[in-house]
Structure 1
Amino acid sequence: MERLLKMARASGSLDLSNRNLREVPPQVYKLLECVGQDEKWWELVDLHRLVLAHNKIKLLSQELGNLVSVVVLNISYNELESLPESIGMLTSLKTLDVSHNAILELPVEIGNLASLVKFLASNNQIKELPSTIGLCVDLAELKLSNNGLTFLPDQLASCSRLISLSIEGNKITGFPSSLFHSLGNLTELNAGKNAITELPEEIGNLTRLLRLDLHQNKIKSIPSSLVNCSMLVEAYFGDNLLSSLPNEIGNLQSLLTFDLHGNQLSEFPVSACSMRLSVLDLSNNNLSGLPPELGFMGSLRKLVLTGNPLRTLRTSLVTGSTPALLKYLRDRSTAEDGNIFGMNIQEQVVQAARAAVSSKALSLSDKNLDHVPPAVWESCDLVQLDLAKNCIQELPPEMSMCTSMEALILADNKIQEWPGSVFASLPNLKHLNLARNPIVALPPGAFSAVSNLQLLDLSGVVAQLPPPPCLSLMTGLQELRLMRTQMAAIPWDLPRMSSLRILDLSQNNISVLPQASLLSSFITLEELDLTDNNLSTLPPQLGYLEPTLRKLKVDGNPLRSIRRGILERGTKELLQYLHGKLPQ
């Protein structure tokens, strides 16, 4: 202990986690008063980081207030039932983690922590959030999941810099009417597993919202104002009481994941088919059929329909692959305009173009096309174009006329040259899929022409990536798939992509991950797929990603430094294990 205290006086950081402590050693509260004879007073520094996690501490002394220079205080995974009033004297505190304790009540002095940026208090027994929380005006992240809260104080609206709010697993019945007026910076709202019955129209004020989780509540309707959350990427409304969706829902053009399972929906509106979803879960509703227009949602990778009384679809379609179901719906849509059987390719293109007039989505996948048909640029207002599984070798310059194009699917063709001039003329392009094309080379400025992309799939494209910082030019990219590209090393600019949420690097030749300083930059990453590479070890710095990374796949690597039992416990346990290996 004395050695650790001495090191703390020299470094300003003290980590006493996982030491089976039942109380905080008294010397900690008077760290600079217990100086050894061999220590030089002018070399000592105030304590700014104190970690006491994973112990059996039941009480904190009022002397905690002596540590006025502490910036980071982690007392998570202990047996605390309360916090001392003196905690309000820690005015330099920026991060406070008291999660996984047995705290019943927070002191009102919490409002004195004017510098507080991150407050983590999940998995306690807190029944009420003090109104003084509104004085913490710099607060950016607030986690209060799995407590006993029944309401949020109106004063929380004063925390206008809040970016992430998590209140999952409480007993909250609704939101204060003033809350959403001032939380315009909020990007993540997690309020699942509560008793919320109604969403206020003011939710539309959350224009920067990226992730909304309201599963397992009692919500009966979605307000039409939600479409003002134009940046929304994930929305979870599973296990509620929804009977319908607003017609305006199709305007959520950035939405990729839409979970509606376990509701009472009797139909999926045609207007919603204009979305560019990747995942749509409609399982366990009251759907008896689907609109044929859904078949033209070419971006859809996963559609879940089990548990519905579907009478117009065979069971094999419902339980089968999503592409097969979408193709069936497309064919049915075309058949409603005329009999497709016996049509030649040109006639099928004409029929598909007619169907695209209202949906703004044209699907010509798997038509054995060797060129892009003129119907594409003759429909200049197309928003989505699916040309996958054809024999197309190049994009004609006329495609530059499709300036409204937002999603372009060109997977499984024979394109050899990067069509940069066409891409440069599509300013609204957000989703681009070029997977499994024999592209020979990617020019140095390839990605500058598609800098507004949110999704890029180059899986199976073996052409070498342009040198850094080519990837970081796509500042808004949220999903990047580079599976089976013969990649041997991760480009150094990849972790600097500040919006990246999903990264697929599976089935490559990667043997080492970036240096520690770069790994910790992956602050927005939620899914990382590293399966089937040549990794023999995982750096402990991956543990820094534990707060946000929800899925880490490392199967198929010759990992020798981590026991199989740890790998099989799942992402959270693995990241916590790696975090525990970080140098103290």
Structure 2
Amino acid sequence: MSRFKGGCKDSLAGFKVQTAEPTVPYGLLKAARKSGQLNLSGRGLKEGNFMLAHTYSTTKRPDLPLHDNQLSSLPSALGELQNLQQLRLSHNQLDSLPVEMCTLKNLRSLTLQQNLLENLPEDLGQLANLTELDASSNQLKSLPSSFGCLVSLQKVNLCHNQLSGLPDSLARLTNVKLLDCSDNQLTEIPESLSEMLALEQLYLRHNKLRFLPKLPAPALKELYVGNNQIEQLQTEQLSCLTAISLLELRNNKIKTVPEEITLLSTLTRLDLTNNDITSLPASLSLLPNLNVLLLEGNPLRGIRRDILSKGTSELLKYLRGRVKEEPDKTDGGDTAMMLPSQARVNVHDIKTLKLLAYSDKQEGSIPEELFDGAADQSIATVNFSKNQLTSVPPRLVEFQSSLSEVNLGFNRLISCSPDICKLLQLTHIDLRNNQLSDLPSEMQNLTKLRSIILVYNRFKSFPHVLYETLSLETILLANNQVCEVDPSRLMKLTHLSTLDLANNDLLNIPPELGLCTSLRCLSLEGNPFRTPRAAIVAKGTDALMEYLRSRIPT
């Protein structure tokens, strides 16, 4: 270890701070030499020539945290740290990056947010193993032509820059699942982005877009285009969104909602807040999976304010009442048959929409005739909400090869039958407003499950099986009695973007929760914890996560 005391000058050339006293304490370097990890974040460093080469040259999975300093430059010797996999340079004063950084072949994660960068190195494309890049909150006006060579990228954050356009080479990034280009100067989005076959989340908020992008990306589930200048929703653009689940269009200038909105059969959430919409098509109520419709701040006419205030369910019910029933002119006779319970089997919904619905009946069981009427059909969606069910209908397993969405909300379920875990195609399950306190361990077998709604139940702890359900993207667990959450297990959920734990009994928020970097929305309000303060929570997810990370002991 004598080399760190200043005795071995040659081996540290380019990495030594040229001051009488070392900027980095010797004890810290000594510990880093043993552990292979050196954390230099938040130390007010101004120089880029650190004594790091020997610390990192022999480690296999090193992480170099240099964030939250005052660095204005980095040494070219950075290129010698060939074992680096994570390089964290956020919250500094860097206005350029050394080209030698592009030789770090093992680099997986590069975080550059909150610097003064006006461009990225042209050789950036050499980082062929890079999976995560965060260059947000800089001064980028364009991207290097080699950007499309970063073929391993999965998450790209370019928000809060000055980009006026995106290069066509982005189309080569076929592994990117999340692309955030919010808060830039974009006026249009190249159609070539539709070749990003893995793209699931696209953020384009706060730009200058006048039209909804034409993006037939086959996996695109969430599109955020709020705070733009969109005036019209066109059929051609809407028809492209074949897998869309969430569409955010708030704070635009949209005047009408076209009938073609019904093409979005997979849509679950539509945000039209603060537009210029005066009327809604009744056909909007025919969207089989729509459960959240936000319309505040529109000059709507013809719909009473009290109906709007009752929420999505009542509004869609009202719109359904305005849909004109067209007689079925086929030779088959009636489109529905009466059941002894006076319920109707909606043949159109079953055959055309692949929807099996029996909701708002306040019944204690589902009529057998309803299942019989859907026999041999590839039912994709089941809605049995607002009844008096005390158990999961066992005949749901008859649709296990096709069923992807189940709504059992507003019932009296005391337990969730393991039978529901046989529905291996399930992507969404709504169990809100029941009496559940646990979930079956078999739920981890649902490898396609993306979202689960458990609000207003009786959970006293975070359901352990959810930690093992690795495909989850959304967990809504508000208004329960959850008293703790384990961030080390939560970090396994690498796809989790939304976590709602509002109005529970959390007395302590572990700072390590800030390391769950996939989270885009974290709701903690209404819990009895004292830190973080309510003012920090109110600033939103980004500020909250940054605060939590700052509290992690180093």
TM-score (norm 1): 0.78
Structure 1 position 494, deviation (Å): 0.6
| Distance in 2 between residues matched to 1:171 and 1:131, nearest whole Å | 19
| Distance in 1 between residues matched to 2:415 and 2:163, nearest whole Å | 56
Structure 1 position 536, deviation (Å): 1.9
**Structure 1 position 207 matched with structure 2 position 218:** yes
Choose the corresponding residue for 1:118, options 132, 143, 146.
Answer: 132
Aligned to 1:499, what secondary structure does the other structure show?
A: coil
**Structure 1 position 582 matched with structure 2 position 552:** yes
- 1:541: which partner in 2? 512
- 1:454: which partner in 2? 427
Choose the corresponding residue for 2:41, options 6, 17, 32.
Answer: 17
Choose the corresponding residue for 1:484, options 444, 453, 456.
Answer: 456
Aligned to 1:456, what secondary structure does the other structure show?
A: strand
Structure 1 position 378, deviation (Å): 8.6
| Distance in 1 between residues matched to 2:44 and 2:182, nearest whole Å | 30
| Distance in 2 between residues matched to 1:551 and 1:211, nearest whole Å | 13
- 2:522: which partner in 1? 552
| Distance in 2 between residues matched to 1:555 and 1:248, nearest whole Å | 35
> CA distance change for structure 1 residues 198 and 279 in 2, over 3 Å: closer, same or farther?
closer
Amino acid in structure 1 at the alignment position of 2:166: L
| Distance in 2 between residues matched to 1:492 and 1:389, nearest whole Å | 31
- 1:530: which partner in 2? 501
Amino acid in structure 2 at the alignment position of 1:214: V
Summarize deviations over 1:181-226 as a string: whole Å, max 9, x none. 4x2222233233334566776x32x212222233444xxxxxxxxx
- 1:3: which partner in 2? 27
- 2:18: which partner in 1? none
Amino acid in structure 1 at the alignment position of 2:219: R
TM-score (norm 2): 0.82
- Retained in 2: the 8 A contact 1:56–1:79? yes
- The correspondence of residues 114-513 of structure 1 with structure 2, limited to 5 A, is 114-176=128-190, 178-181=192-195, 183-196=196-209, 203-204=215-216, 206-217=217-228, 239-242=229-232, 244-246=234-236, 249=239, 252=242, 255-259=245-249, 262-269=252-259, 272=262, 275=265, 277-285=267-275, 287-297=277-287, 299-306=289-296, 308=298, 310-318=300-308, 321-333=311-323, 371=341, 373-376=343-346, 380-381=350-351, 383-400=354-371, 401-402=373-374, 403-425=377-399, 427-448=401-422, 450-463=423-436, 465-468=438-441, 470-513=442-485
Quick one: percent identity of the two aligned structures? Answer: 29
Aligned to 1:27, what secondary structure does the other structure show?
A: coil
| Distance in 1 between residues matched to 2:273 and 2:527, nearest whole Å | 35
Summarize deviations over 1:110-162 as a string: whole Å, max 9, x none. 23323222222111112232222333332222222222223333444443333
Choose the corresponding residue for 1:103, options 117, 130, 134.
Answer: 117
Summarize deviations over 1:42-87 as a string: whole Å, max 9, x none. xx74782111101111111222222222111111100111111221
Amino acid in structure 1 at the alignment position of 2:203: N
Summarize deviations over 1:324-350 as a string: whole Å, max 9, x none. 3333323333xx56xxxxxxxxxxxxx
Structure 1 position 8, deviation (Å): 1.6
| Distance in 2 between residues matched to 1:444 and 1:323, nearest whole Å | 29
| Distance in 1 between residues matched to 2:56 and 2:522, nearest whole Å | 42
State the superposition RMSD in angstroms: 3.5
Q: Which moved more, 1:495-504 or 1:66-75?
A: 495-504
Structure 1 position 268, deviation (Å): 2.9
Structure 1 position 466, deviation (Å): 5.0
| Distance in 2 between residues matched to 1:257 and 1:370, nearest whole Å | 40
- Retained in 2: the 8 A contact 1:131–1:156? no
Count of residue pairs brought into register by the alignment: 520
> CA distance change for structure 1 residues 162 and 371 in 2, over 3 Å: closer, same or farther?
same
Amino acid in structure 2 at the alignment position of 1:312: G
- Retained in 2: the 8 A contact 1:371–1:394? no
Aligned to 1:573, what secondary structure does the other structure show?
A: helix
Amino acid in structure 1 at the alignment position of 2:398: A
Which segments of structure 1 move beyond 6 Å, counting only runs of 4 or more?
none
Structure 1 position 250, deviation (Å): 9.9
Structure 1, unpaired ranges of 5+: 34-43, 218-238, 338-350, 356-360
| Distance in 1 between residues matched to 2:468 and 2:478, nearest whole Å | 20
- The correspondence of residues 64-79 of structure 1 with structure 2, limited to 5 A, is 64-79=78-93
Structure 2, unpaired ranges of 5+: 1-24, 330-334
